[in-house]
Amino acid sequence: MSETMICVGAIGGAFGVQGEVRLKSFCAEPSDIADYGPLSTEDGARRFTVTLTRPLKGALGARLGGVSTKEQADALKGTRLYVARERLPALPDDEFYHSDLMGLTVVDTGGATLGKVHAVHDHGAGDLLEVRREGGSDSFYLPFTRAAVPTVDLAARRIVADPPDES
């Protein structure tokens, strides 16, 4: 697909027997997932309109266009859903979509390259950047806080980091 696609959710499988699915939303406000228009599979081969039906524990109940049976819903279990980046709302200056951080070069406050952002994790206590070291396969984690990451320059594809002391 030519446009940048952002993963906004995943299908957890069937909910009930009439084609409803359990939908895990990755949006800051979970119900916003239904506001972005049709969602696509990663390869763009399938598109689904989303109608939310009810809140569920840790997910949302939803109906997807073209899915009307439990078997069809179960067959979609694990499918990740994407939207074109330009359909997402603009963020304030100090907020970033995880996908915008991926691949950025991380340098320390002296300008030495530490690595590149490999992943962004959120385990409930705040985001962590997984930084893969330059020329290696090992990684380290950097808290995504203003103290540890004072500068994010998307235009230059660079993050300036002041990692906490390892003592």
CATH value of 98-161 in 3.10.560.10, 2.60.120.620, 2.30.30.240, 1.10.3720.10: 2.30.30.240
pLDDT the model gives residue 111? 92
H or E element in which residue 4 lies: none
The CATH superfamily assigned to 5-87 is RimM (2.40.30.60)
Dihedral-angle region of residue 157 (phi above 0 means left; psi in -120 to 50 means alpha; beta otherwise): left
Residue 95 is predicted with a pLDDT of 86
Domain boundaries, the chain: 5-87, 98-161
pLDDT digit of tens for each residue in the chain (167 aa)? 446 888 999 999 999 899 999 999 988 889 999 999 899 998 999 999 999 999 999 899 999 999 999 999 999 999 999 999 888 888 888 888 888 899 999 999 999 999 999 999 887 778 899 999 987 789 999 999 999 999 999 999 999 999 877 64
Q: What is the pLDDT of residue 4?
A: 84
H-type helices in 55-153, by residue range?
70-75, 98-101
* Cβ 23 vs Cβ 7: under 8 Å: no
- The pLDDT score that the predictor gives to residue 2 is 44
* pLDDT at residue number 166: 60
